[in-house]
């Protein structure tokens, strides 16, 4: 079993549920080191004084905040320790909200919450099932590794899931960041066809169907180069659709999506029919075997 990265209590009302926090995700990126080109010499980084060029020991480094005009406010490590959140072992649920009200933009990282012991499994299950039944999430704050986090606690039916969240002032305003954005497209023919295309391309969410092809290619590249082979990939750059050709492009896309969907439906139907035929054959064999056994027993 995985090791908890944090342990404490979920508190809601007068109820406390002891839990452990576990990572729910993992990345599969390939680790690379840096080398001087043409050599096997590793590149190392040193902390140096930009004025003297001399290396500075870690214990002699302090933090400073730029307040503008080339002026910095220097903050000592013990000053930061004095104002840091204390080591807390509680997830204090402040309120429960509908999951649909939360903009996914606020979600940061996912964790699993599991009961710390079997004695309190029933209270854990009670909270999990109640959240699932109401489709609500608990909003809480907690401290982990010296940092305070905002979080939601929700149920996925099997386990409680904690999502760390960005605070409201950490979400950038798109109008400020991106400038003028397009106005509404209107309710014309193009919008209607775009809706048709979305409907034609709609399907079930199957996460296992999506693979990290870039990481796989990197692995293949490293393996091939290690074996002295060369790998060449070529992909055409997509071109923006000319606004004057938009209706034609949408119409062709809808037709193609419908054909693809029909083809998938036929393949699924054939697989289902094949499974039913195999099941009938298996059942027939079992029936035949039982009849033969019965005849032998009667004899």
Report which of 163, 143, 144 is spatially closest to residue 97, judged by C-alpha positions. 163
Angle between helices 246-298 and 189-200 (to 10 degrees): 20
List C-alpha distances in Å: 44 to 32, 34, 148.
Answer: 13, 8, 33
The tokens for 276 are: 């039913």
Q: According to the model, what pLDDT value does residue 155 have?
A: 97
Calculate the dihedral angle through the C-alpha atoms of 187, 188, 194, 195, rounding to the nearest 10 degrees: 40
Domains along the sequence of the chain with CATH: 6-27+84-170 (2.40.290.10), 189-201+250-294 (no CATH)
Tokens for 141, please give them: 């704050």
pLDDT given at position 255:
85
Q: What is the pLDDT of residue 242?
A: 65
Residues 6+ apart with CB under 8 A from 59: none
Backbone angles phi, psi at 11, to 5 degrees: -115, 120
The structure tokens 């080109």 sit at: 37
CA–CA distance, 8 with 19 (Å, rounded to integer): 6
Q: What is the predicted pLDDT for the residue at 5?
A: 92
Q: Which stretches of the chain drop beneath a pLDDT of 50?
A: none
């Amino acid at each position: 079993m995985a090791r908890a990265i944090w342990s404490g209590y979920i508190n809601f009302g007068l109820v406390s549920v002891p839990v452990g926090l576990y990572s729910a995700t993992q990345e599969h990126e390939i680790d690379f080191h840096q080398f001087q080109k043409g050599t096997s010499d590793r590149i190392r980084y040193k902390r140096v004084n930009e004025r003297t060029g001399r290396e500075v020991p870690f214990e002699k480094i302090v933090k400073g905040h730029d307040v503008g005009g080339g002026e910095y406010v220097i903050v000592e490590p013990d000053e930061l320790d004095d104002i840091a959140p204390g080591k807390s072992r509680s997830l204090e649920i402040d309120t429960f909200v509908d999951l649909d009200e939360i903009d996914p933009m606020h979600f940061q990282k996912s964790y699993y919450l599991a009961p710390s012991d079997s004695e309190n499994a029933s209270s854990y299950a009670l909270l999990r099932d109640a959240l699932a039944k109401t489709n609500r999430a608990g909003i809480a704050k907690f401290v982990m590794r010296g940092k305070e986090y905002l979080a939601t606690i929700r149920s996925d039916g099997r386990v409680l899931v904690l999502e760390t969240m960005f605070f409201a002032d950490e979400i950038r305003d798109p109008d400020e960041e991106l400038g003028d954005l397009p106005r509404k497209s209107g309710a014309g023919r193009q919008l209607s066809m775009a809706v048709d295309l979305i409907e034609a391309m709609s399907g079930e969410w199957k996460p296992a169907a999506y693979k990290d092809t870039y990481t796989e290619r990197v692995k293949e590249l490293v393996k091939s180069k290690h074996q002295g082979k060369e790998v060449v990939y070529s992909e055409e750059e997509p071109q923006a659709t000319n606004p004057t050709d938009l209706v034609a492009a949408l119409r062709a896309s809808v037709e193609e999506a419908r054909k693809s969907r029909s083809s998938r439906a036929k393949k699924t139907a054939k697989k289902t029919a094949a499974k039913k035929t195999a099941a009938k054959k298996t059942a027939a064999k079992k029936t035949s075997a039982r009849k033969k056994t019965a005849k032998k027993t009667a004899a």
